[in-house]
Amino acid sequence: MLNRARAVIRGQWRRHPPVSVIIKSYNHEKYVAKTIGSVLEQTFQDFQLVITDDGSTDATVKVIKGFSDPRIDFVALPLNQGLSNAMNVSLQRATGEFVAILNSDDYADPTRLERQFAYLTLNPATAAVFSEPRIIDEDGNERPPLPIFALPLSFRDFSVGTWLRQFFLGGNCLCAPSAMIRASAYRAAGAYDRHITNLQDLDMWIRMLGCGELHVLPDRLTSFRIRANNENLSAPRRDTQLRWPFEYAQILRRFLNLDERLLRGAFADAFASNALSPDLSVAQCLAELALVANTPSHVAFALETLFATARTDADFARLREVSGTVNVFSLHVETNRTL
């Protein structure tokens, strides 16, 4: 398979490495050597390794500088500015046709680049290929799989419509450090949004769906470390639990910018099963569907969308009804009583 894949892009193969591996590091002195070593030991060796340290305060930078491989492009940022900025800085230096993501506390299976490079080369309609990660603990011991990352393997297909429904109603279920992505898809989707701290991957996947399908391989090609004491950026700490609903509500607004025909096709069954009128705009249909989902993020999105799209008497009546029914701010509201 790899030889066939090489033949497809023979011209680019001769000009520069076809794969850029991106590692963002931050205070991972204990793990980053394992991460870098797992890339340097790949069965696929024609890559550029782009490493960006995001203002580490421990010995992470010293460990990285201990590697002298000429394929490494390393930049250390003076201050911590967040994952989105570190990704943007890294992507600006990536020259490969494909971009593989890896966290500095995770590591790659030796065949990961080979498998994903071959898949993307032979499947030009696919924008990005992922895998279910192998879950490891602080000390590298394998742990049970996380159901959220196994979920895509139960999907009936990986069509754009399937992903749109999942991302709108269920959120992200893709493991970013397992991904290899076409650089052209990144260029089309635009930069990571620095307004978003925790859900920047979900935001990117939604924008990237305009570039092609997202595919998930059944093989576990990346070991994803679950740190002790909720040290992962995505761990359910107080700050992340407060931030997630707000960021998700903002990200849901991305759907309003997508092609209307694409949305109506993706959500046709959901619109029909909820008896939504064909006279409603697709934005209003999404608002009504969000009300059924009934999470704080969805309710906030629904109210804002109904407010922004109200034009007719019926629209304004619906807005008054919904805004007087849902408790988006979790207020303690007194029941009606006689004074």
Q: Compute how many other C-beta atoms are within 10 angstroms of the C-beta atom of residue 178.
A: 30
CB 110 within 8 A of CB 221: no
Residues in the chain: 339
pLDDT score for 14: 44
* pLDDT tens-digit readout, 242-294: 899 999 999 999 999 999 999 999 999 999 999 998 889 999 999 999 999 99
In this predicted structure, the answer to whether residue 15 has a pLDDT above a threshold of 80 is no
pLDDT score for 5: 54
> What residues have CB less than 8 Å from 33, skipping those under 6 apart?
63, 66
Q: Considering the chain, what is the average pLDDT of its residues?
A: 92
Instruction: State residue 69 phi and psi, 5-degree precision.
Output: -60, 130
pLDDT score for 237: 67
pLDDT score for 158: 96
* pLDDT tens-digit readout, 82-97: 999 999 999 999 999 9
Domain boundaries, the chain: 2-233, 259-323
- Rounded to two decimals, the pTM is 0.91
pLDDT band at 108 (very low <50, low <70, confident <90, very high): very high
- CA 155, CA 293: separation in Å to the nearest integer? 20
In this predicted structure, the answer to whether residue 71 has a pLDDT above a threshold of 50 is yes
> How far apart, in Å, are the Cα atoms of 82 and each of 25, 79, 176?
11, 9, 16
pLDDT score for 280: 94
Token duo for residue 309: 């799209």
Strand 126-131 and strand 213-217: pairing? parallel
> What residues have CB less than 8 Å from 306, skipping those under 6 apart?
284, 287, 315, 318, 319, 322, 323
In this predicted structure, the answer to whether residue 74 has a pLDDT above a threshold of 70 is yes
CB 78 within 8 A of CB 55: yes
- CA 261, CA 222: separation in Å to the nearest integer? 36
Domain boundaries 2-233, CATH class? alpha beta
